[in-house]
Amino acid sequence: MKEKSDNELILIVQKGNKLQSKNALNILYVRYSQVLFQFMFFILNKDEDKARDFVHDIFLQLFEKKYRFDSSKNFKSWLFTIAANKSKNELRRLSVIRKNESNLNLEFSKTETAFEFDKKIKVWNVVNQLEEKQRQAVILRFRLNWTIKEIATFQECPEGTVKSRLFNALKKLSSILEKKSIEYFN
């Protein structure tokens, strides 16, 4: 069963008997759980427990046949779409918290050492300030090494739009980092 494609395996999960379904799900879990976890980890502001819970829930719900797979689609994109949709409510909640806290985590105190500042200013620590689609594109491109084409399939948009999103994300990130370092060193 290990040689089967993702699409074949998910069809077994959804249509096979319990044992076949379980085996197929295990293989898909080995193939995708860690990358999906990485994606959720960064999407959910590095909340390890929440990311783990989300990924486990997704796989359990696949087993319970809660989601119907359209065999004309690409499994990887479909799986990440489920994850992105699932995280939406959580992101909404987080954005409310973030507004309330007014980005406290990026305020630098003058007592911090340059080393501490350097650690805080790492680019991956400010990725959470990007808007949702830009953040997804950045994580998929630079963390999971997806191609522009794969991201376009996942986000259901032309490749040009993905490039434009990445461009705007880079512009925003570099301006945040620059602003923060000017604030700190002045």
Partner 1 sequence: MSNKEYNKEIYDLLEAKNWSQLSVQEKEYVKHVLGENEYNNMHQTLLSLQNETNEEIPEIGPLVIQKKRKAFIQQFFQLKMPVYQAASILLTVMLFSYFSDFSKQPTTSKNNAQFNISAEYSKSMKEDSLAGIFITGIYR
Residues in region 89-118 near partner 1 by CB under 8 A: none
Which CB atom, from 4 or from 52, has the smaller least distance to partner 1? 52
52 binds partner 1 (CB under 8 A): yes
The CA-based angle 3-76-68, given to 5 degrees, is: 95
Stretch in the footprint of partner 1 (CB under 8 A) among 60-68, 72-80, 82-90, 96-104: 60-68
Minimum CB distance to partner 1, residue 89 (Å): 19
> Could you give the dihedral angle defined by the CA atoms of residues 46, 135, 128 and 40, in that order, rounded to the nearest 10 degrees?
-20
Closest CA to 76 of 31, 44, 13: 31
Stretch in the footprint of partner 1 (CB under 8 A) among 8-16, 78-86, 94-102, 135-143: 135-143
Pairwise CA distance, residues 94 & 13, whole Å: 33
Total interface residues for partner 1 by CB under 8 A: 35
37 binds partner 1 (CB under 8 A): yes
Residue 38: HSE in the Cβ half-sphere, 13 Å Cα cutoff: 14
* Chain centre to alpha carbon of residue 127: 11
Which residue is associated with the tokens 């090494």? 145
Pairwise CA distance, residues 46 & 18, whole Å: 34
User: Which tokens sit at 97?
Assistant: 């918290």
> Given candidates 50, 86, 98, 143, which one binds partner 1 under the rule CB under 8 A?
143
Which CB atom, from 53 or from 92, has the smaller least distance to partner 1? 53
34 binds partner 1 (CB under 8 A): yes
Please report, as ranges, the residues that interact with partner 1 according to CB under 8 A.
29, 33-34, 37-38, 41, 48, 52, 55-57, 59-60, 63-64, 122-124, 138, 142-143, 160-161, 163-164, 166-168, 170-171, 173-175, 177-178
